[in-house]
Structures are given as C-alpha cells and as structure tokens.
C-alpha cells in the first residue's frame, strides 16, 4: 500500500504565519536577497547587471551577437549622458529637413513642367514663398521650444491647450508623417544613388527595404551611436552642396553658366495642361515638403544637453538658414541652367545640375550624389527618433498599447522602432519606391500638426496673459505661424486630394478613433480593477482541482501530487476514444489505490477537449461560484526539436480554458531530467 | 482591518476525504455526471454529440460552415458503414494508376525524341515491357492482399518480414512518392486542361495550387464522400478513352488512319543525342511511372466492404486490365499516326491524338480532355487517402509525431491531409507545375517500396513453409515480382539519377534517420516515465508560491487570494524600474495590511523577467528541491481585439518559466465581467 506524505497544511509554516497588523517586522522574514541583488531597505532589492549574464554557451553567443548589433546595455540613470549638443543635434534632428532640399526643387518642377517647359520659370517665385513660410514657422517654433522644455511636440502642445481631440489629431497626423518621412527619404536616397549607377534602378525597391532594415537595427542601438553615425553625412552634404552652389553662383556672376541640353524625347508637350491656379498650387504643395522635419527639433528638446531649450533653438535657426540657402540656390541655378526633370525618374534634378556644372561622372558629381544619398537614407533617422518617442508618450497616456512605452535595454523604445520600420517597408513596396508617387501623401499631415501646434501656442499665451509681460507679441508670432501653416494645410489638402492626400485625410480620423477606443478601454479596465477599500480582504477557499490524465506514469503522478498538495478536493479525468483502453486505465488506477478518484469519459467522436469542458461545467453547476483549477502535466523534453512531439493537446486545452470564467490553469512541467523518485 | 475568510484547510472536505483502500465505494462519490453524458459504469461516462453543440451565435455560424465544408461528424463505431465496394473502390484506389495512362506514353516519347523522330519507333516495345512488369506486379500483389487483410502496405510487409530498417525505407520511399503523386497528377491534369484552353497555360502553377487546396478540403470531409465524387470522372474517362481507342483501332484496321502533321519548328534535330542504351533505359524509366498507384490497393484493403481481401483483389485485377489496355492502345495509335510531342508542353500527346482522330476542338476532343483533367486532379486523391493512413500507422508505431494518429471528427487523419497538401504545393511551386520536370523524382521511390514489399512476401512464405501447402508457388510469384521491380528500381535510379532521382535517394535516408530519432525519443520518454511500482505514493508538500504583482488591484487580489488558498507560504514580488513608483507600491501594500509579504525589486535596466528569475533562484537555494509555484494574474478582456493590449509580460514570463526546472505556473484569469466583490 502506498504511503502518502501528507504535509498539506505544512505545520511549520503555520507557526510562522504573520497575522495582519501584528509582528509587522516579520513581514520581510521570508524575503530572501539573491546574490546579484543589493538591498535598499526592508523588502526592497535592486537588481544589478549580473542577473542578465547569460548562463549557457548558446546564451553567451546570442548575447555577444546582440551586443555587437545593439551595443551595451544602458542603465536608466545614465540617460543624461546620452544627451547631445548642437553639432550632433543638427545632424540628428535637422537632417530630415535639410535633406528635403535634395528633392524639393525637383518636385516643384515636376508639377510645373506639365504645363510645358516655359512654366518652369515659376520655380523660383514658388521657392521664395515656401522659404518665407519656413521663416515664419522657425520664428513661431522658437516660442514653443522655450515654453515646452520637456518636448513640445504638436501632440503635447495641442492637447495641453486645445483638448484631447486636437491632440489626437496632431498625433495621428504626425505618426502618419513619420512613416512617410522614412519612406520618402529612403526612396529619394535610392534615387540619388541610381542617378550615378543606373544599373541599380531596377532594384530600387529592394535597396529601399534594405536601408530601412539597417536603420531599424541602428536605432535599436540607442540614441548616441545614432548621432555619431549621422553627423558625418550631414556635414559632408552641407559642405559639398554649398561648394557646388558657390561654384554655380560664381559661374552665374561671371556669365559662364552652361546651358542644359535634354536628351531627345524629353521635351514636354507645350501646354499639355493649362498653367492654371490649381497647377501652381499643386507645385507649391509639392515644394512645401521642404517644411517637414521642423517639428523634430521642438519634439526632441529633452534629448539635448542642458540648457536644452537654448541648444534646440540654435539648432532650429541653423536648420532654417542652411535649408533656405540650399533651396533658393538650387532653384535659382536649375532655372538659369534650364534643367528639365527626367520623365523616367532615373536621374534627379540635383544630379543633372551637378553633372552640368562640374561634368557628368566627375569625382565631384559622385561626391555630391553619394553624400545626398547617405544624408537622405540617414535623415529617415529623424523619424526613427520621433515616432517611437511620440508613441511612448501616447502609450503612457493610454492611447496606444502599453508595449510602446517599454524601453529596451539600450534606452530605445524597441517596439516603436520595429513598427515604424515595418510600416515604412510596406509603403515602399506599395508605391514601388517612387518619390513622386509618395509625395502627395506627405506634407498634408505635417501642416495639420503645425497648425494645431501654433494655434495651441496662441491659446497658451492667452492663458498666461496675467503672468507673462510680452504675451501679446508672442501670441502674435504664433498666430501668424498658425495662419500661414493653416493656409498651406488647406492648399495641400485641396491640390493633392485626388492624388493621394485623401488617404491621409481618411487615415487620420481612423487613427483618432482607434486611439480613443484604446484609451477608453484602458480607463474602463483600470477603473473596474481599482479596489475601493484599502484593506480589501483575501478570499481563501480551497480550490476544486481537476487533473486530466492520459496515461498513468511519473508525469501524471507528479501532477497529481501537486494537485493533492494544493487541495484535498482533487479528481482525475481520463478521456478515451476506446472502451478497451478505458477499462485498462480503470484497472491500472484501482491497482494504484491512491486517494484520488478517477472519472473516465469515453468520447465516441474522438474529441478530447469538449468532454472535458462539459465535465467542468457539470462541476460548476454542482458548486457554483467556486474556482475550478485544472492541473496540466506538461512534458518538457531535453531538446527544442522534440517539443512539437509533445503537449499538443495541453496547448489546445490551455487556450480554451483561458477564456472560461472562474478557471485557473496550472502547468506542472515534468522535466525529462528531473528524476521523480516515487519514494 | 480586513477580514480573511480562511477556509484554507476546508474542514468539510476533510471529513469526506477518502482513505486509501477503505470505503472504496466512496471513490466515485465526487464524480458528477454532466447532462450530455451517459453513464456506463461507476466513474465511467460516455460523451454524446451534445457536448459539441456550439453555444454562441458565432459558434453556431462557424459550426454550420464547418459542416458545409467537411460534412457531419462520424462516430468511431460507424466507421464500417463508411466502407466501399468494388465500383467505388476502383475509382478511389485505382484512379492514380489508371490516370497515369494520360502521360505514360508521352513521357516515353519525350525521351526517345531526343534521338530524333525515328527513335519513336521504340515507344511500342518499351510499352509492352512495362505492361509485362505491371502484370507481374499485379500477380505478386494478389498474394499480399490475401496475406494482409488489415492493409498490406509495403511498410507493414517489409517491417514484418525484413525488420524495421527495411520497413522505414519502404515508408520513406512511399511518403515521398505520395507527395509526388499529388504534384505530378495535378500538374498533368492542368496540362490536359491547357491543351484545350491555351490561355490558361500561364496560370498553370496557380491552377495546380487551387486544385490541391480543393482536394485537401474534400479529403477532410472523409472517405465516403470522396468515393462518390471520384467515381464519376474515373468512369467517364474509361468510357471516353476506350471509345477513342476503339474508333482509332477501327480506322487502323480499315486503313483509314490519318497522319499527324506537326507545326513548323517542331521537327527535332535528328540524332541530337545518340540512341544509346542509357537513352532507352531513361525512356523505360519515364514510362514506368505507369506502375505507380499499385501499392494503393493493397494498402487500402481495410477500406473495402467485407470480405475486404476479395474486393481488393478484384479491384487490382480490373485496374491492371484497364490500365494495360489503354497504355498499349495509346502507344500503338500514337506510333502509327506519327505523333510528335509538343516541345513547349502546351499540348499533351493524348490531346494531339484525340484531335487528329476526331477533329481538333470537336465535342469529343473536349470530352476526353475534361475527363482526363478531372481524373488526374482527382487521382491525386489516392495519395490523399494513403499518405495520412501511412502516417497514422507510423505515428502509432512512434515513428512520426503523435498528432498524425489523431483522427478528426470526420474520421479523416486531419494533420496528414494538411501536411500532404502543403508539401505538394511546395513541389508544384518549385518545379513550376511541369510534369516533365517532376517525373525524374517520381517512380524511384515506388520501385524501392515495391521491391522491399515483394522481398518481404518471399520471406513471409518461407516463415509459413510448415503451415501453408502451396508456399513454394506463392514465394515464386513474389520472388519474380521482387526481381522485376528491383531491376526497374536500379534502372530508374541510374537512368534518372542526374535528372533529379538523386534528391529522392538523399531524402529517403534522411527520412529514415528522422523517423528513427523520433521513435527513439518516444521510447526513451515512455520508459523514463513508466512507474516501476504499481502503488507509487503521492508526494504532498505545500508549495512555495510567488505572485508577481504589477499594480495592487482587484486582479492582483484575486491572484493573491488564489495563492493563499493553495499554500500558506506566499510572497508577492513587485519589479519596478522607478524608485518613486516602488516607494508608492510599498506604502500601498503596508496600508493594505494583508498577511502576504511583499518583495520589491528595482530593475535599473528596465528588464522585468530577469530579476524575477534571479529571485526565484534565490528561493531555490534557500530550500532546494521544493517546487516553486508562480501565480500569474492574467486579465481576460471582453473582446478579442483588446487582447494585445494586455498580458504581454505574463506571456513572456510563462515562456521562460516553462523551461525552468521545478516550477509550476498558475494562470489565474481575471475576467472583466467577473465582478470580484471584496467582501
């Protein structure tokens, strides 16, 4: 006869039982301190990096690969040392904006040329208007940076001052635009490359995808490394482009400017489209892509070294000056030289301009193209810094799933980075890597966010009117900004509606609705789970335990032992599709003679789970409201490849039980190596 | 101060406790009988179909769709009524073999024509040799069917008589071949269709995949429906092809046979390859595809109505007669008419022959082609019957994962069907749906299995030499069969080695090794888990319980209550990446004043799981060998879409804990609707 070692009530533990409110010091008696922890106070431990050390050879290899790809771990306290100054800040936060000078002129020309080559004369005036708007935006954002030193993204400014709907509108617009920033910048970068290496043109989609993946990996490494990588191309671009423009202006002033001779077949049909107001507005809308990226600086204020706001303001001004000069110079020279955009998109306008000025295929031509390509590909990094940051703020406010607020061990918001990369790749695939196809979706979101942010700032100054002396001037600055960007938003929306802006204008409300629903869900759950009484009591009721048993073996005995250890009310259930097998099981069970009753359930339809669930339902009816605990014995094999050979039924059962009310599931893994000695 | 309702030891249950060996009648006291069950004996219930009835509107809809696609459920006892007779048996088990008459002649000609049109004269002699081999195989298999009425597949015959290695070799060869049967038959069926509808040619891969999917669904419905569907095309094919051949023979005898005029550009280069022995052997090897499918009948004996073996023998003979006549007639007419195979594979030889005899595009031409296509596509069904059946036998013997032995509620081996369909689709994609590309992989496996099976039968008769009077004759029959098929196996292996047969010759040993490893694993596990003592005792030890708590709310209290109900040794652990938040948690906990101690673990690297695991390790060191139970509170939202918003950490934790020795994991789902009332 078997011996049952019944320590069920564990008398030694009962003695140590801590009564509520009494012997409070004993509370921490049972809290052990693991070796890799330091003690900060009673029952309060701090983990060290030691706990993350891999223990198996394979784990050490994986860890080394991870560190190689993503860098060393960074403790939260060290975050301030990861901050950046003006030099790196310009590279990180302004590269998006500055890089758009590589395609802004071209996108204006591509629209104007539809009305014939003569219409290209309008390129320069449109450029001047856009640069003027940029100046207004930069001036307006100076105030935002000062007022929101913790990051004055449009979402925060708009929700702070205009309420949650405005905030979510700005957030939806920005999230959309960050994804587009990645797709457009990468597509333009690839175009800069294919301008000097036409053989790559047919692989442009693949190249774009590869660049996005590289950027994603780089960003998972964290912010400082990003800055180091990204400063180089930004400054190479600035130097080489200013050199080119200076050379061009010198030749213009000396009357030595060459004329562009387009290949046969490129000449556009004169007046294929009338040079109407809509066409001019479309050209303006296409060129206003130049303003994207301005948000990045005000959003990223906390990433600067202290004093954060001063560094950020300086970066914003430098950005505006650099970008404006390049844009104006580029449009001027392209007009004077008489560049015609390549209808097949194989060569960019910058490449044509450079080729005419310094010679096609000359080393300087290559330098400009490679620098442009690198800057553009890396400019997408601005979005890789901002999308996860905004997502994490939204997640903290409950508008996005909580995972987005979780920082990886490199201080990067890992999930945001991955989601951004995936979405950008989808866009590149869907629009076949063409900048001109993607542009109409871009910018409308940016200007919606701009407008809400500036309008929010006006409200902000109005609220501070009693404390802030110069509030009128400040409000005026932002008011002009709101007016200008609002006008542009409407122009872009109308001019590009049919070309693709409608997708964004549909997507933004959808995003708002989804974020709203997520927040409502989290709030409802939070409220429903909140305990009203601080001293809510525990409900201690011995559970009713069911142990499905397929074969009476060590693993089953292990599970039955566990079940019996947690409750005296245990029943084993054996589901069989075969009467003979069922009889053998009964016989075996009776021979065992343990104190646990066995129910045999024959299932003529060979299903395993349904009869078990029906049995649990019957138990529920017998004693309603009591928790049913199902103890599952899971076999853990020694090797991973062996896993699919086991536990398939347990897995399916767990999935079904998860949704069953009042049911707890216990996994009792039986490890192959764990020799269960029956005595 | 909170009240703790401590029913931990549940005194009412203690009284009802069943002592071992005493009051045995009470054992079944607690075994309830659910409404949808019938009672067969004490503690022995039988489930009715009622337990499978869906309970929600969505469930009812899903159930209706499932029944529509897969048919009504079939109880195991009803299996005998699903058996088939000769008429349907010929359709189900012989369609594979008979359908190969649609491409056997063509594949011989495609090889011969490489040596010029003159070499096609050898088509007829090669056909005659192959039909002779078929006659030997049919005669030989008559004995197998008689000797193995429960299904005499090569695997069973070879393992029974020649040992497990021979058995597994046969099994590996057959599994490979069943997959190829599906791919080749479907590809040939699609070719028959594109012969009359050339517009479909560019979609042949897609069409092939669609047919495989349809077949998979059909087979998940179970065997009888299959038979009904499959009888029609088989008999339409037989009637229309015999009609065609009769018409052709009549015209031949009356000297009225037309001559074939191939389009310009088709004429092959005379003597591009020398008509050497290897080419003739390759032609023979290609044509011997005609013998595939013979195995099916002997494997499927138990699917016939009783007397199973008689029906099976009759089907095998009919199959040989029908197939042989068609093959001979086809080769004869094709040679006399002077058909040249279409180099682009757009038209089949059968289609060319029919077009010449009855007129291109005539209704009869369409009838033959559609019947051929349907028969070929449906012939793949033989493999859909046999692959899952063989897999289930292998799974029962422990050579394949157990899931393959599990029968769905339509008595079909669901997983085997799905796996076969997936593999066949992969092959169709990899070989771009071309019969000629696939053929070299085919047949070598069949003949390996044939040879092993016949050799096994020789051994079988030798073992029965004292009981069976005519054992010498029987052994001689099978010996000739083994010799013939063995020779063909060697010819096919050599002639087609470089063309693709090497893949199969590599794959078969790999499959053997994998199956062997799986069986060894199952046996090791089974042995290790077997209890040596019939009366092995339970080990009842109160578990040490750890409850990770992220927020002190109703869900946490629910989990803590459960933990406290199963043991008095409970500790809550809160992992925090933020010192202030940790302090707030401590304050809240102290205010609660419950009897459970709280350990706070700060994690400066923001990781959640590693500190928890380190804490568990420390507990283990404190009291080694004792099971640690981790109680996880999982929030179950009301809607499925809300699920990704919760439990991400719990999920990751569970995965890690699963592989930790001596650790049980309890999921305590907290259902949103389950209002936990704190008193």
Please compute the mean of the pLDDT values over residues B117-146 and round it to a whole number. Answer: 90
- A25-34, A75-84, B190-199, B438-447: which has the minimum mean pLDDT? A25-34
Query: What does the pLDDT read at residue A658?
Result: 78
Nearest CA in chain A to B658: A669
Which residues of A fall within a CB distance of 8 Å from B396?
none
Between strands B663-671 and A5-7, the pairing is unpaired
* pLDDT(A314) > 80: yes
* pLDDT(A8) > 50: no
Query: What does the pLDDT read at residue A26?
Result: 41
DSSP single-letter state for residue B361: T
* pLDDT(B223) > 60: no
Cβ A2 vs Cβ B535: under 8 Å: yes
**What pTM does this model have?**
0.70
Alpha helices in A254-346 (DSSP H): 277-287, 294-299, 308-337
Residue B412 pLDDT class (50, 70, 90 cuts)? low
Please compute the mean of the pLDDT values over residues A98-111 and round it to a whole number. Answer: 89
Residue B18 has its nearest CB partner, among A34, A595, A601, at A595
Please compute the mean of the pLDDT values over residues B154-166 and round it to a whole number. Answer: 90
- Which helix or strand (DSSP H or E) is residue A602 part of? strand A598-602
- A124-138, A322-336, A434-448, A478-492: which has the minimum mean pLDDT? A434-448
Which residues of B fall within a CB distance of 8 Å from A588?
534
Arithmetic mean of pLDDT over chain A? 81
Which residues of B fall within a CB distance of 8 Å from A530?
553-554
Give the distance from residue A596's alpha carbon to the nearest chain B alpha carbon, in angstroms: 8
* Structure-block tokens of residue A587: 């016989």
* pLDDT(B350) > 80: yes
Query: What does the pLDDT read at residue B257?
Result: 83
- B233-237, B300-304, B408-412: which has the minimum mean pLDDT? B408-412
Chain-chain contact of B564 with A540 (C-beta, under 8 angstroms): yes
* pLDDT(B77) > 90: no
Chain-chain contact of A569 with B10 (C-beta, under 8 angstroms): yes
Query: What does the pLDDT read at residue B19?
Result: 31
Query: What does the pLDDT read at residue A75?
Result: 57
Query: What does the pLDDT read at residue A11?
Result: 30
Give the distance from residue A12's alpha carbon to the nearest chain B alpha carbon, in angstroms: 10
Residue B331 pLDDT class (50, 70, 90 cuts)? very high
* pLDDT(B411) > 60: no
Give the distance from residue B677's alpha carbon to the nearest chain A alpha carbon, in angstroms: 9
Phi and psi at residue B405, in whole multiples of 5°?
A: -90, -5
- Which helix or strand (DSSP H or E) is residue A437 part of? helix A435-438
Query: What does the pLDDT read at residue A239?
Result: 93
Please compute the mean of the pLDDT values over residues A458-480 and round it to a whole number. Answer: 87
Where does residue B465 rank: exposed (0-12), middle (13-18), buried (19+ CB within 10 A)? exposed
- Tell me which of A4, A6, A540, A546 to substitute to probe the interface with B (most B C-beta atoms closer than 10 Å): A540
* pLDDT(A675) > 70: no
Nearest CA in chain B to A662: B669
Q: Determine how many CB atoms are found less than 10 A away from the CB of residue A510.
A: 10
Please compute the mean of the pLDDT values over residues B646-654 and round it to a whole number. Answer: 76
Residue B569 has its nearest CB partner, among A13, A33, A582, at A13
Chain-chain contact of A664 with B662 (C-beta, under 8 angstroms): no
Q: Please state, in angstroms and rounded to a whole number, the distance separating the CA atoms of residues A410 and A668.
A: 35
Cβ B316 vs Cβ B297: under 8 Å: yes
Residue B604 has its nearest CB partner, among A75, A528, A595, at A75
Query: What does the pLDDT read at residue B24?
Result: 40
Query: What does the pLDDT read at residue B16?
Result: 29
Residue B15 pLDDT class (50, 70, 90 cuts)? very low
Residue A329 pLDDT class (50, 70, 90 cuts)? very high
- Which helix or strand (DSSP H or E) is residue B554 part of? helix B554-566
Chain-chain contact of B536 with A9 (C-beta, under 8 angstroms): no
Encode pLDDT of A207-255 as tens digits: 999 999 988 887 876 655 455 666 888 899 999 999 999 999 999 999 8
Query: What does the pLDDT read at residue A619?
Result: 83
Give the distance from residue A224's alpha carbon to the nearest chain B alpha carbon, in angstroms: 17
Query: What does the pLDDT read at residue A16?
Result: 29
Encode pLDDT of A422-446 as tens digits: 999 999 988 888 888 888 888 888 8
Query: What does the pLDDT read at residue B605?
Result: 67
Encode pLDDT of B600-647 as tens digits: 888 776 677 778 888 888 888 887 777 889 999 888 777 777 777 776
> Percentage of chain B surpassing pLDDT 70?
85
Query: What does the pLDDT read at residue B290?
Result: 83
> Percentage of chain B surpassing pLDDT 90?
19
Chain-chain contact of B47 with A76 (C-beta, under 8 angstroms): no
- A161-165, A224-228, B53-57: which has the minimum mean pLDDT? A224-228
Residue B541 has its nearest CB partner, among A33, A565, A668, at A565
* pLDDT(B512) > 70: yes
Where does residue A679 rank: exposed (0-12), middle (13-18), buried (19+ CB within 10 A)? exposed
Q: Please state, in angstroms and rounded to a whole number, the distance separating the CA atoms of residues B579 and B602.
A: 7
Chain-chain contact of B539 with A533 (C-beta, under 8 angstroms): no
Query: What does the pLDDT read at residue B130?
Result: 92
* pLDDT(A202) > 60: yes
* pLDDT(B14) > 70: no
Residue A542 has its nearest CB partner, among B10, B19, B590, at B10
More confident residue, B82 or A676: B82
Helix-helix angle A123-147:A277-287, to 10 degrees? 50
For tokens 């023998």, the residue is B313
Encode pLDDT of B520-540 as tens digits: 988 888 888 888 777 778 888
| Composition of chain B by helix, strand, coil, percent to 5 | 65, 10, 25
Please compute the mean of the pLDDT values over residues A335-361 and round it to a whole number. Answer: 85
Residue A296 pLDDT class (50, 70, 90 cuts)? confident
Chain-chain contact of A532 with B40 (C-beta, under 8 angstroms): no
- A516-525, A665-674, B438-447: which has the minimum mean pLDDT? A665-674
For residue B387, give the nearest of B375, B376, B400 by alpha carbon: B400
Query: What does the pLDDT read at residue A19?
Result: 31
Give the distance from residue B559's alpha carbon to the nearest chain A alpha carbon, in angstroms: 10
Arithmetic mean of pLDDT over chain B? 81
CA B312 to chain centre: 23
Give the distance from residue A575's alpha carbon to the nearest chain B alpha carbon, in angstroms: 9
Query: What does the pLDDT read at residue B32?
Result: 65
Query: What does the pLDDT read at residue B505?
Result: 86
Which residues of A fall within a CB distance of 8 Å from B555?
529
ipTM exceeds 0.95: no
Residue A513 pLDDT class (50, 70, 90 cuts)? very high
* Structure-block tokens of residue B299: 């494997």
More confident residue, B21 or A158: A158
Which residues of B fall within a CB distance of 8 Å from A9?
8-9, 542, 568
Cβ B30 vs Cβ A564: under 8 Å: no
Residue A6 pLDDT class (50, 70, 90 cuts)? very low
Encode pLDDT of B444-483 as tens digits: 888 898 899 999 999 999 898 888 788 888 888 889 889 9
DSSP letters of B100-162?
A: GGGTHHHHHHHHHGGG-GGGGGGHHHHHHHHHHHHHHHHHHHHHHHHH-TT---HHHHHHHHH
Please compute the mean of the pLDDT values over residues A179-198 and round it to a whole number. Answer: 88
Chain-chain contact of A637 with B28 (C-beta, under 8 angstroms): no
Residue B553 has its nearest CB partner, among A531, A592, A678, at A531
Cβ A591 vs Cβ A585: under 8 Å: no
Nearest CA in chain A to B566: A566
Nearest CA in chain B to A674: B661
Residue B664 has its nearest CB partner, among A37, A594, A668, at A668
Please compute the mean of the pLDDT values over residues B355-375 and round it to a whole number. Answer: 88
Query: What does the pLDDT read at residue A268?
Result: 61
Query: What does the pLDDT read at residue A29?
Result: 43
Nearest CA in chain A to B556: A529
Query: What does the pLDDT read at residue A595?
Result: 81
CA dihedral (B351, B352, B357, B360) positive or negative:
positive
CA dihedral (B450, B455, B460, B461) positive or negative:
positive
Which residues of A fall within a CB distance of 8 Å from B603?
47
Cβ A604 vs Cβ A575: under 8 Å: no
């Amino acid at each position: 006869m078997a011996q049952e070692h019944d320590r069920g009530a564990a008398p030694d533990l009962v003695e140590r039982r801590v009564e509520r409110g009494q012997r409070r010091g004993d509370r921490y008696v049972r809290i052990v301190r693991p070796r890799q922890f330091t003690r900060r106070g009673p029952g309060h431990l701090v983990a060290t990096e030691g706990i993350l050390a891999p223990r198996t050879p394979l784990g050490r290899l994986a860890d080394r690969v991870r560190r190689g790809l993503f860098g060393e771990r960074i403790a939260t306290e060290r975050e301030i040392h990861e901050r950046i100054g003006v030099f790196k800040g310009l590279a990180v936060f302004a590269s998006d904006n500055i890089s758009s000078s590589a395609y802004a002129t071209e996108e204006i020309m591509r629209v104007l040329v539809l009305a014939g080559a003569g219409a290209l004369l309008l390129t320069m005036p449109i450029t001047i208007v856009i640069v003027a708007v940029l100046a207004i935006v930069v001036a307006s954002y100076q105030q935002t940076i000062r007022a929101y030193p913790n990051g004055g993204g449009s979402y925060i400014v708009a929700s702070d001052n205009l309420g949650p709907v405005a905030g979510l509108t700005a957030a939806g617009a920005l999230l959309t635009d960050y994804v587009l920033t990645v797709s457009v910048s990468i597509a333009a970068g690839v175009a800069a490359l294919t301008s000097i290496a036409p053989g790559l043109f047919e692989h442009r989609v693949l190249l774009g995808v590869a660049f996005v993946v590289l950027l994603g990996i780089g960003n998972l490494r964290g912010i400082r490394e990003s800055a180091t990588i990204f400063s180089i191309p930004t400054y190479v671009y600035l130097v080489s482009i200013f050199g080119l423009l200076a050379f061009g202006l010198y030749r213009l002033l000396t009357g030595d400017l060459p004329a562009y001779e387009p290949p046969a077949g490129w000449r556009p049909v004169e007046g294929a489209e009338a040079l109407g107001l809509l066409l001019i507005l479309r050209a303006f809308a296409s060129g206003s892509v130049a303003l994207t990226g301005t948000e990045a600086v005000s959003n990223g204020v906390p990433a600067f070294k202290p004093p954060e706001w001063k560094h950020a303001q300086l970066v914003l001004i430098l950005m505006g000056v650099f970008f404006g000069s390049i844009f104006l110079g580029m449009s001027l020279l392209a007009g004077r030289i008489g560049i015609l955009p390549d209808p097949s998109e194989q060569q960019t306008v910058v490449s044509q301009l450079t080729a005419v000025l310094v010679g096609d295929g000359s080393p300087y031509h290559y330098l400009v193209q490679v620098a442009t390509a690198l800057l553009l590909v890396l400019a997408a990094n601005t979005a890789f810094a901002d999308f996860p940051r905004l997502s994490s703020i939204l997640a903290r406010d409950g508008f996005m799933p909580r995972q987005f607020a979780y920082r990886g061990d490199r201080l990067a918001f890992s999930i945001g980075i991955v989601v951004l990369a995936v979405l950008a790749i989808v866009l590149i695939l869907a629009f076949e890597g063409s900048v001109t196809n993607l542009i109409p979706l871009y910018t409308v979101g940016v200007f919606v966010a701009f407008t809400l942010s500036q309008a929010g700032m006006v409200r902000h100054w109005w609220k501070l009117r009693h404390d802030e002396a110069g509030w009128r001037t400040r409000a005026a600055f932002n008011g002009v900004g709101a007016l200008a960007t609002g006008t542009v938003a409407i122009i872009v929306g109308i001019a590009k509606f049919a070309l693709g802006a409608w997708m964004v204008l549909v997507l933004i409300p959808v995003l708002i609705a989804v974020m709203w629903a997520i927040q409502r869900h989290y709030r409802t759950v939070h409220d429903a789970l909140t305990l009203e009484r601080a001293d809510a009591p525990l409900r201690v009721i011995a559970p009713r335990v069911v142990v499905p048993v397929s074969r009476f073996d060590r693993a089953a005995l292990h599970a039955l032992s566990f079940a019996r250890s947690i409750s005296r009310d245990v029943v084993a259930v054996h589901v069989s599709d075969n009467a003979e097998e069922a009889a053998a099981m009964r016989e075996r069970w009776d021979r065992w003679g343990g104190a646990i009753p066995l129910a045999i359930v024959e299932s003529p339809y060979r299903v395993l789970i349904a009869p078990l669930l029906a049995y649990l339902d019957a138990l529920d009816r017998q004693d309603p409201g009591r928790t049913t605990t199902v103890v599952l014995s899971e076999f853990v094999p020694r090797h991973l490849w062996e896993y699919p050979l086991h536990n398939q039924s347990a897995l399916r059962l767990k999935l079904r039980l998860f949704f069953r009310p009042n049911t707890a599931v216990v996994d009792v893994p039986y490890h192959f190596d764990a020799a269960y000695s029956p005595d």
